[in-house]
Chain A
Amino acid sequence: MTWLARLRVGGIVGVVILAGIGSVLLAPRGGETPAARGADQGQVIEALVASLDDGPNGAITGPWDLELPRDYGAHPDAPAETWSVVAHLTDPQGRPLSVNLVLTRVGRTHGGDAEATPWGPGPVHIAQATINAADPGLRASEERISRARGAAGHDVAAGEIWLDDWTLEYGTDALDLTLRLSDQLLRLRLEPRKTPLAPTGEDTAGPRGFAIPRLAVSGSLETAGTVLELGGTAWLDRLWGEIPLPGGPLVRDRLVLHLSDGAELSLLRTRRRDGRGIATVDGVLVGPDGGATLLEDGAVDLTSGPLQEDSAMPGSWRIAGEGLDLRVTLLGASGQEGFALPVRVGQLEVEGTRQGMPVEGAGTVLLSGGDGT
C-alpha cells in the first residue's frame, strides 16, 4: 500500500469505525486561556495532552479481530480509549428522553516507579453524562474527572468499567449502565440488536474499535422518590488507539439517528475552527438488516437551520441523499460550557422518508466546539 493510500485509510478508519465517536474527547479548547476557564480545567487539559505524549510508539499494531465481550472492556495498551452511549428513550406516556454518556481514558498506566505511589503519572479518566427531556426537572448533566488510582478503571474479572459510582458492566448478552446525576439514579440495560460494525483482520496502526448501531434499552430513572420506567434504543461506540486528541483546530457536529423502520444514521461534520476551508460530512447508514453503507464526504447533504438563541445550536437540520430525505428538529439542548471539554448535546426528533417510505425517529446531536450552523 502506498503512503498516500495509507494516509487515506488511516483517516477513513478513524471516521468510518464509529463515524464520530467521542465528540467530547474531540472538543477543542476554544480561545480561552486556562486561567480564564479556571485553573483546574486548564490543568486537566494539559494533563490530558501530556499523558498522550507517548511518541511514535503510541500506535498499536498487528492484526486484530473484534471479540465480544472482551472488546467492551478496556485496552490498557492503547494510549487512549473511549466508550460512548447515545440512548433515545420514552417513558410510559411516550414522552421522549435522551441519554448521552462518554467515558474516556487518556494516557497509559505506566509501570515501574510510577506504580509505587498513587500520585505517580497515570491515566486520566473523564466521563460526561447528559439527560435531556422536555421536563426541566429531569434534565441533568455532569462531568467527572479522575486521576487518582482506584477511583476509576476497569475490572476484567467483573466485566466492569467505572468512574466513582458511574459504572458500565458488560457481559455476553448485555451491558448495564448506572449513572447518578445529582438526585437522579439512571439504570439502563442495553442488549445488542445488530451486528457490530468493525474492520477486521487489518494489520494497521490506525485506531481500532467498533460500533453497535442498535441496542434495545430498558431501565428506569429514579428521582425524588419516583421511578420512571424507560425503554428505547441506543447506539454504542468503542474506540481505542491513536484517536484524535483534545484541542486542536477542528470543530465537529455529530448526529446519531434511530429511525422507525429499523435503520440508523450517524453523521460527522468536520470543519476548521477558524471558519476557513471546507466542511466534510462522513458517516454510516445502517439498514434494518444490519447492512452498513459508508457515507464518504459528498454522499449526503447535511444543512443546518437558523441558530436558536436559547439553545445556542440550530433548531433544525435537513439530510438528503442515499435514499434519505429527513427533517430533523431540535427538541431541547443541554449546554456544557462549564466542562473541561465543552460540548453541547441536543435532543432530536426526525421525520421524512427513507427509500421513499415514511419514517420518523429520535436522535441526538453533539456539537464539539462549534454552533452547528
Chain B
Amino acid sequence: MRARAGLLIAACLLAAACREEGTDYRSETGVVPATEQRPGDPEAGYAALVNAPYVSCGIPHDAFTRVLPETDPADLLPGREGLNAELPYAFTAHENAEGVTIVSSNCLTCHAAEIEGELIVGLGNEFADFTQDPRRLVLQSGNFVRGDAETRAWERWADRVDGIAPYIRTATVGVNPATNLTWALMAHRDPETLEWSAEPLMEPPQAEPLPISVPPWWGMRDKEAMFYTTVGRGDHSTFMLLASMLCVDSVEEFEAVDAYADDIRAYIASLEAPVYPHPIDEDRAALGAAIYARGCATCHGGQGTDYPNLVVPLDEIGTDAAYATAATDGSRDRFYEWIARSPYGDAESAAPAPGYIAPPLDGVWATAPYLHNGSVPSLETLLSPEDRPRYWRHVLPRAYDREAVGWRFEVLDEGQAAEPDPELRRRIYDTTRHGYGNGGHVHGADLSAEERAALIEYLKTL
C-alpha cells in the first residue's frame, strides 16, 4: 500500500512537472470555434467501424459462442465480413497474434439502437445496463476458456475490466458511464508509451460515475466539440480513439488504429438523422416551426439559422450541474493533462467550459430520454417542466410513445432508497440522486398546451 501511494505521488509530481506552461484546460462558455477535420472516406469508415479490431481484447470466440450461442437476426448488420457477419452488431471478431479468435465489444455497443423496429447506427443506446459489476461477466466467460493461448487472451481482457470495473457502475439502467470509464483507463496507462499498468499510475476517478445520455452520432456533422462540456475539441478523429483505449498498449497499436480513424469519423459525420416514421400533422407542425424559430433556434440552430455550437452557462441553462462542475472544478485536470501528453490529443482537446453545449436537434424524436443525463423521459415532459417525473422507469418491453415523443414510462411514488429489491431498484430513474437531476432548461414552461403540442409536432420533422 505504501509503495502504491508513493507511486501515485511520483506520478502526480511527474504530471505536474510536465504540465504545459500557461495551460489551464478550460474554455469559455459561448461559441465553440470551428476546427477543420481530417478528410476521410465514409464508405471505408463504415467498413472499419463494423469490422476492424480497434478494441483488440475480449472473449475468446469459443467461449463467446458457449455463453451466447445464438444471434438474433435483428442484431445483424450489412457490410460485415467473415465471422463478423454472424455476430451481433455490437461485437467484432479478429484473430490475435497467437491465433486465438477474439470477440470484442465495438463502438456500436453504445452507439446503435433499435427504434420502431429499425436498428439505427449512430443512435445512442439508452437501455444499456451498466449497473452490474462487469467482472462477474468476465468470470462467467472464463468458465469456457481453454488452453494457454486462450487463457492469456482472456486474462488480458479480464485485467482491463478489473481496472475499470470499480468506476463504471451506474445507479440506473440506461445511463452511460463512458466518461468515467475513460478516466479510469487513463489512470492505468502511461500517457506517452500507452503501456498498461495493473496498479493505477495516478489517482483514478471517483467510484460512482456521473450519468450521461449517449448523444446521437449524426450531430457530429455540425458539432465542433464532441461532448457535453465541449471536451473533444480539435481533431475529432484521433480524440475518439479514446474509445479503443481498453486494449491499445503501445503507440504503434494506436497509430495502426489512427490510420483509419479519419475514415470512421467521415462516416459518422455523413450520417443523417432518421426520419420520423409516423404521420405528422403538417398544419400543426407549421405552427410549431414558428415557435421553434422564436424560442429554440438561437441555441439549437435550424429554421434558417446555422447550428451555433453554443455553450450555455450553468446558471443560465440550470440543468443538473454535477457533470459540468466536475469537469471544471479541477478534479479532472490530471486526465486533461494525460490527454495533452498522449497521442490522443493536445492541450486544447480537453478544455471544458462551465456549461453545456446546446445540441443540434436533428432526429430529436428518436433520442429520448432528454438532457445530458437522460433524466427527462419525453419531449412532452421536457417542455412541461412542472410535469417532469421525480421518480420514473421505462415500461418494458420498451414501447415508443408517439404522443409524448419518447419511451413509455411509469411515474413512481418513491425513489431508489425505498425499493428493497435490487432488480427493481436499478430500473428506477431517481432524479434526487447526485448528477441525476431533471431541473433546468425550462423553455416551454410558458407555452400553452396547444403551442407545446405544435412545437412537439414540429420537432418530429427534424
Seen from chain A, the residues whose Cβ lies within 8 Å of a Cβ on chain B are 2-8, 10-11, 14-15, 26, 49, 56, 58-59, 61, 205, 242, 244-250, 270-272, 274, 276-278, 280, 297
Cross-chain contact B70 with A58 (CB below 8 angstroms) = no
Cross-chain contact A249 with B154 (CB below 8 angstroms) = yes
Q: Which residues of A contact B162 (CB under 8 A)?
A: 276-278
Any chain A CB within 8 A of the CB of B179? no
In the complex formed, the residue of A with least CB distance to B145 is: A248
Number of interface residues of B (CB under 8 A): 38
- B121-162 contact mask (Cβ, 8 Å, vs A): 1 or 0: 000000111001101111111111111000100110011001
User: Could you list some 25 contacts between A and B, CB below 8 A?
Assistant: A2-B127, A3-B88, A3-B91, A6-B68, A6-B70, A7-B67, A14-B140, A49-B146, A58-B66, A61-B70, A244-B143, A245-B144, A247-B147, A248-B142, A248-B143, A248-B145, A249-B142, A249-B145, A250-B139, A276-B158, A276-B159, A277-B162, A278-B165, A280-B135, A280-B139
Q: In the complex the two chains form, what is the Cα distance from A56 to B132 in whole Å?
A: 28
Q: Tell me how far the C-beta of A17 lies from the nearest C-beta in chain B, rounded to whole angstroms.
A: 13
Q: In the complex the two chains form, what is the Cα distance from A4 to B136 in whole Å?
A: 13
Q: In the complex the two chains form, what is the Cα distance from A198 to B159 in whole Å?
A: 34
Cross-chain contact A272 with B139 (CB below 8 angstroms) = yes
Q: In the complex the two chains form, what is the Cα distance from A277 to B158 in whole Å?
A: 8
Q: Which residues of B contact A271 (CB under 8 A)?
A: 139
Q: Tell me how far the C-beta of A120 lies from the nearest C-beta in chain B, rounded to whole angstroms.
A: 23
Q: Tell me how far the C-beta of A295 lies from the nearest C-beta in chain B, rounded to whole angstroms.
A: 13
Any chain A CB within 8 A of the CB of B413? no
Q: In the complex the two chains form, what is the Cα distance from A267 to B156 in whole Å?
A: 28
Which of the listed residues A56, A59, A272 has the most CB atoms from chain B within 10 Å of its own CB? A272
Cross-chain contact A277 with B135 (CB below 8 angstroms) = yes
Which 4 A-B pairs give the minimum distances between C-beta atoms? A11-B140, A244-B143, A59-B69, A205-B69
Any chain A CB within 8 A of the CB of B414? no
Seen from chain B, the residues whose Cβ lies within 8 Å of a Cβ on chain A are 65-72, 75, 88, 90-91, 127-129, 132-133, 135-147, 151, 154-155, 158-159, 162, 165, 198
Q: Tell me how far the C-beta of A143 lies from the nearest C-beta in chain B, rounded to whole angstroms.
A: 21
Q: In the complex the two chains form, what is the Cα distance from A58 to B147 in whole Å?
A: 18
Q: Tell me how far the C-beta of A11 lies from the nearest C-beta in chain B, rounded to whole angstroms.
A: 3
Q: In the complex the two chains form, what is the Cα distance from A244 to B158 in whole Å?
A: 18
Cross-chain contact A10 with B67 (CB below 8 angstroms) = yes
Q: Tell me how far the C-beta of A366 lies from the nearest C-beta in chain B, rounded to whole angstroms.
A: 16
Which of the listed residues A26, A61, A278, A297 has the most CB atoms from chain B within 10 Å of its own CB? A278
Q: In the complex the two chains form, what is the Cα distance from A14 to B69 in whole Å?
A: 14
Q: Tell me how far the C-beta of A3 lies from the nearest C-beta in chain B, rounded to whole angstroms.
A: 5
Known: A7-B67, A11-B137. A274 touches B143 (CB 8 A): no
Q: Tell me how far the C-beta of A23 lies from the nearest C-beta in chain B, rounded to whole angstroms.
A: 12
Cross-chain contact A250 with B72 (CB below 8 angstroms) = no
Q: Which residues of A contact B155 (CB under 8 A)?
A: 249, 272, 274, 276
Q: Which residues of A contact B66 (CB under 8 A)?
A: 58-59, 242
